[in-house]
């Protein structure tokens, strides 16, 4: 308090009483504004985390990144549908689009089917997407919506407190087998570390896919034998898919958007 008073006295001696008071008040206001600004910046990060930003941009503006009209998005495939929370927004934003959603978890597939049973634009497929056709073990966890064809890794245990839960046998298919000669405009993959298996079984369909939105992990061992971000980039580069958006949490997990090279334009499109 004495130090504060001495600072005020020094200011008054230097600038005079009136100017000194104005100067002091201005400084106090500046300190308050800086603290509020810092707090708001932290709140911004909490309200709009980078991984969510990438997903929102994809769902709202993917046509702008592709340089086409919204009506030209005809086919959207979601691998790992969970509760289908993003599907209403996709249908609202892309009126000509049909959504194929794969979900094999016994926890969620029944409610997912029920949610979209009256929609002729949504097809729910009760299979896991992998690199082989047949059957496989599916590993559920203690965290909602985080089951996988892969077992929980050490990093997920440390970051999220995730533990292995029930397991069950599921049917598997590949995207190449399911879609055959059909085209996917946007491929969305959220399969908890098993993205490499999905892509390995999609070599044919990826040649015509315009965009891939995918959950990623920069660090290894989120799930046992999961694909890392570096390997993911190399896999998609082979199909001329280039990284255009990336948003991660502080543990290196997040989302990324890849666009086919030929659709990345020379001009900036307005996001509308």
Residues 76 and 31 in one domain: no
pLDDT at site 144: 92
pLDDT, tens digit, for every residue of 233-258? 999 999 999 999 999 988 888 999 99
Residues 138 and 34 in one domain: no
Low-confidence ranges of the chain (pLDDT < 70): 1-43, 45, 265-272
Residues 68 and 8 in one domain: no
pLDDT at site 14: 60
- The whole domain housing 8 covers 2-45
Instruction: Report the CATH number that the domain containing residue 105 is assigned in CATH.
Output: 3.40.50.150
Residues 40 and 96 in one domain: no
Residues 15 and 62 in one domain: no
Rounded-to-integer distance, Cα 129 and Cα 175, Å = 7
Is 271 inside a domain boundary?
no
Residues 77 and 38 in one domain: no
pLDDT at site 249: 87
Residues 32 and 75 in one domain: no
Instruction: Note if the pTM is more than 0.75.
Output: yes
pLDDT at site 155: 81
Q: Report helix angle 2-15 to 17-47, nearest 10.
A: 120
Residues 110 and 36 in one domain: no
Alpha helix (H) residue ranges in 101-208: 109-115, 154-160, 175-179, 195-200
pLDDT at site 2: 45
pLDDT at site 197: 97
Let me know: does 185 contact 146? Beta carbons within 8 Å. no
Is 73 inside a domain boundary?
yes
Rounded-to-integer distance, Cα 211 and Cα 263, Å = 9
pLDDT, tens digit, for every residue of 153-189? 888 888 888 899 999 999 999 999 999 989 999 999 9
Q: How many domains does the chain have?
A: 2
Residues 7 and 73 in one domain: no
Residues 39 and 58 in one domain: no
pLDDT at site 264: 83
């Amino acid at each position: 308090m004495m130090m504060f008073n001495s600072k005020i006295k020094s200011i008054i001696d230097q600038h005079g009483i009136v100017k000194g008071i104005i100067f002091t008040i201005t400084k106090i206001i500046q300190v308050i504004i800086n603290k509020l600004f810092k707090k708001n910046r932290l709140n911004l990060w909490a309200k709009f985390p980078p991984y969510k930003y990438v997903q929102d941009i994809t769902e709202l503006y993917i046509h702008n990144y592709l340089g086409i009209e919204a009506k030209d998005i005809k086919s959207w495939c979601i691998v790992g549908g969970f509760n289908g929370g993003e599907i209403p927004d996709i249908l609202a934003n892309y009126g000509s689009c049909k959504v194929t959603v794969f979900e094999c978890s016994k926890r969620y597939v029944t409610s997912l089917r029920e949610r979209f049973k009256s929609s002729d634009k949504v097809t729910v497929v009760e299979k896991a997407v992998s690199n082989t056709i047949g059957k496989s073990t599916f590993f559920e966890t203690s965290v909602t919506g985080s089951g996988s064809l892969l077992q929980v890794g050490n990093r997920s245990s440390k970051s999220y407190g995730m533990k292995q839960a029930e397991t069950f046998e599921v049917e598997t298919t590949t995207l190449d087998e399911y879609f055959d000669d059909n085209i996917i405009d946007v491929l969305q993959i959220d399969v908890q570390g098993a993205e490499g298996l999905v892509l390995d079984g999609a070599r044919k369909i990826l040649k015509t896919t315009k965009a891939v939105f995918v959950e990623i992990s920069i660090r290894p061992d989120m799930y046992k034998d999961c694909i890392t971000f570096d390997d993911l980039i190399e896999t998609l580069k082979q199909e001329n898919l280039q990284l255009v958006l990336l948003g991660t949490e502080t543990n290196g997990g997040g989302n990324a958007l890849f666009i086919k090279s030929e659709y990345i334009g020379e001009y900036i499109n307005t996001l509308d």
